[in-house]
Structure 1
Amino acid sequence: MSSILESAEKNALELNPVQLNSLISTTGMSEETILQMFDETRNKFPSGGLTEAQFLEMNNSESSDSNPKNNSLLHLVFNTLDQDHSGKIDIYEYILTVGLLSKQEPEVSMKCLFQLCDSNRDGFLTKDEIANLLSIFFLKFSDDKNAAERQENESLVKTCMDLVNKAFGDKTQVSEKEFRKHCAENEELQEMAQSIHAGLVMALAFSTLGFY
């Protein structure tokens, strides 16, 4: 059993040729950039990955904003990074997600938004899941002491939900394929996805500085 665990830990700390080629083709980053990111991330996290608790602690140590609203957003970010649902972000998953987000492509924005909203990971979105993300995302950046700013963001959430309700029609949930189709056909939904995409990139910016 110990040899199996040791092998798994070793694999998490190495980037094999298949993974390297996959990262190059998927993210469009150069081999040099990927290897630099991998080495620097491995040096920072020698265990080969981060649990959610470690991820929250690391992010909050980089920022003075450690309030519950910030942690709610970081929880969604962690779920997006944890692509294999293992409860831990390994270095390959981390570089893959950061690389994809950096491409700033509409398809990536829509996929990212779907993954962020799909809190129970059942492959479908409900209106409540989308409303939860919008509230966390937009209201997180509101100054609780600034009533005008908070009211403006609350209005923005309502506007976004009006678009979502129109797209859903009578359906209680939509698949990722349906969601991406709605976004592709609606410019305002695309803008909403791109705004949240940009916010997620900002949330990860602290760790990508120096890689590019």
Structure 2
Amino acid sequence: MGNKKSTPRNYLSEKDLMFLESNTNFNREKIIQWHNAFLIDCPNGKLDKKQFIKLYLQLEPTEGKAEKYAEYVFKAFDSDHSGFIDFTEFLLAFNIRSKGNLEARLSWTFNLYDLDNNGQIDKKELKKMFQVLFTMLNVNKKDERYNVEKRIEEILKKYDVSGDKKLSHDEFVQGIKNDEPLQKLLLDHQLD
């Protein structure tokens, strides 16, 4: 009785459609198309981490290694921390990632790298961020421009307004809004 398992929903109600229309840049027809495609890969209506990484690597092919980055992206898409991504989580995150304005995309990126979800990105998280990005982009690690420790110090010096050796959400977003090369690296995975 009390252990009833919930049945995954693999349909969109009118309420779901209205919610997604008002919270994304997609129209009703596109939402239905996306949902049908989602169900082809996830007939039970849920996408687990392993499936997500496989799909992500197909959608975002890079010359480097993107598996670790895909794990971070999974965490950011899994907004309820259930270990699965449902269609609503997928479409909302995809919308921000691909069609959101600069501030929304930077906010999403902040959440991607705030690994412990404490509202700040510390040196350890910045280090992981650059290591993952540089590995994914297959940079020459001997090149001084890609020295992780040096990049961390530069960023903290520029954007850590409070001086606590961490970046708050606002420090991250405001700082990177005015740093085009870092924007390209974080949002488009392109080197300057």
* TM-score range relative to shorter protein: 0.7 to 0.9
Structure 1 distance, partners of 2:61, 2:172, is 35
Structure 1 match to 2:159: 167
Report the identity percentage: 22
User: Offset at 1:181?
Assistant: 3.4
User: Offset at 1:175?
Assistant: 3.0
User: Offset at 1:34?
Assistant: 0.8
Mapping of residues 57-96 of structure 1, within 5 Å: 57-59=54-56, 69-96=65-92
Specify which of 133, 137, 140 is matched with residue 136 of structure 2: 140
Specify which of 167, 172, 179 is matched with residue 172 of structure 2: 179
Secondary structure, aligned partner of 1:50: strand
TM-score of the two chains, using structure 1 as the length reference:
0.73
User: Offset at 1:58?
Assistant: 4.1
Query: Structure 1 segments of 4 or more deviating over 3 A?
Result: 1-4, 57-67, 155-161, 181-184
Structure 2 match to 1:193: 183
User: CA offsets per residue over residues 157-198 of structure 1, 9 Å max, x none?
Assistant: 8446503332115213343234323334xx11x542343222
> Which stretches in structure 2 are left out of the alignment for 5+ residues?
none
Structure 1 match to 2:48: 51
Structure 2 match to 1:5: 5
Structure 1 distance, partners of 2:19, 2:11, is 14
Structure 1 match to 2:32: 35
User: Offset at 1:89?
Assistant: 0.9
Alpha-carbon contact 2:159-2:171 (below 8 Å) kept: no
TM-score of the two chains, using structure 2 as the length reference:
0.80
Higher helix share: 1
User: CA offsets per residue over residues 1-31 of structure 1, 9 Å max, x none?
Assistant: 5884244x13xx2223333223222221111
User: Offset at 1:77?
Assistant: 1.1
User: Offset at 1:54?
Assistant: 2.5
Structure 2 distance, partners of 1:135, 1:2, is 46
> Which stretches in structure 1 are left out of the alignment for 5+ residues?
201-212
Over the aligned positions, Cα root-mean-square deviation in angstroms equals: 3.2
Alpha-carbon contact 2:63-2:138 (below 8 Å) kept: no
Alpha-carbon contact 2:62-2:136 (below 8 Å) kept: no
User: Offset at 1:120?
Assistant: 1.3
